[in-house]
């Protein structure tokens, strides 16, 4: 585990968001590999059994009919709508924590984060980011790479269970993202 100093809100106030994030992550990556399947069966299913509100919300986010689809990685699954309120804040906190872990500086309120959920990492990103520094937690359960441009501008690539990707760009508040 990577630990960093955190304010009371980030340390204690986000437990429900973290639980929802883990549940949706488990649901969207279940059965793609042994690690993801274990989390789905041993943790997420227990949460669904114990918390009917979360269960209703998760299953309410399945598309009508719940027809299986073939994912870009070739796996078959049922698409689930993952509400941004359970995704964006968690990845922002992770990014801010990892930024501090690597830079020993706080991004603070001077920086904004732009979070993107990806079903796969675009091929050019692999080659472009291969030399970037990074890290992992739990073997390859969670891996990341990052590029730091300056004090507030950075770009992060996260991979969960070798099956779910996200990017987070940080930039000065009000300055906007770097043009694509």
Contacts of 155 (CB under 8 A, 6+ apart): 146, 147, 149, 167, 168, 169, 170
Domain co-membership, 31 together with 70:
yes
Note the pLDDT of residue 68.
65
**Per-residue confidence (pLDDT) for residue 167, from 0 to 100:** 95
Query: What pLDDT was estimated at residue 65?
Result: 59
Domain end, chosen from 81, 109, 124, is at: 81
pLDDT on residue 162: 87
Domain identity same for 48 and 116? no
Is 62 in the same domain as 98? no
> 9 in a domain, yes or no?
no
Q: Are residues 152 and 96 in the same domain?
A: yes
Q: Is residue 28 part of a domain?
A: yes
Together in a domain, 93 and 125: yes
Strands 111-118 and 134-137: unpaired
- Residue 176: CB partners within 8 Å, gap ≥ 6? none
Please check whether residue 177 lies inside any domain of the structure: no
DSSP three-state, residue 178:
coil
What integer pLDDT is reported at residue 92 of this predicted model? 94
Task: Give the count of domains, the chain.
Answer: 2
Last residue of a domain, one of 61, 81, 101: 81
pLDDT tens for the chain, residues 1 to 180: 777 777 777 677 677 888 888 888 888 888 788 888 888 889 888 888 898 888 888 888 776 655 666 766 676 666 778 888 889 999 999 999 999 999 999 998 899 999 999 878 888 888 889 899 999 998 889 999 999 998 899 999 999 998 889 999 999 998 766 655
Range of the domain at 65: 14-81
Burial category of 155 from C-beta neighbours within 10 Å (exposed 0-12, middle 13-18, buried 19 and up): buried
Which segments of 92-153 are extended strands (E)?
111-118, 134-137, 142-148
- Structure confidence at residue 69 (pLDDT): 67
Q: Does one domain contain both 64 and 113?
A: no
The count of residues in the chain is 180
Same domain, 77 and 101: no
The answer on 108 and 66 residing in a single domain is no
Single residue among 22, 55, 81 that ends a domain in this structure: 81
- Residues 92, 113 contacting (CB under 8 angstroms): yes
Would you say residue 7 lies in a domain?
Answer: no
Looking at the structure, tell me whether residues 100 and 41 fall in a common domain: no
């Amino acid at each position: 585990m990577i630990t960093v100093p955190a304010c009371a809100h980030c340390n204690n106030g986000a437990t429900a968001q973290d639980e929802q994030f883990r549940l949706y992550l488990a649901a969207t990556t279940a059965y793609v590999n042994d690690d993801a399947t274990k989390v789905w069966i041993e943790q997420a299913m227990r949460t669904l059994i114990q918390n009917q509100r979360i269960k209703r919300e998760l299953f309410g986010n399945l598309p009508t009919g719940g027809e299986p689809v073939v994912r870009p990685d070739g796996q078959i699954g049922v698409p689930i709508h993952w509400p941004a309120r359970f995704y964006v804040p968690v990845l922002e906190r992770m990014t801010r924590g990892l930024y501090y872990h690597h830079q020993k500086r706080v991004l603070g309120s001077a920086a904004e984060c732009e979070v993107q959920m990806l079903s796969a990492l675009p091929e050019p990103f692999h080659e472009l980011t291969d030399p970037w520094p990074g890290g992992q937690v739990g073997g390859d359960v969670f891996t990341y790479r990052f590029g730091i441009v300056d004090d507030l501008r950075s770009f992060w690539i996260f991979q969960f269970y070798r099956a779910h990707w996200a990017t987070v760009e940080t930039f000065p508040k009000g300055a906007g993202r770097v043009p694509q």
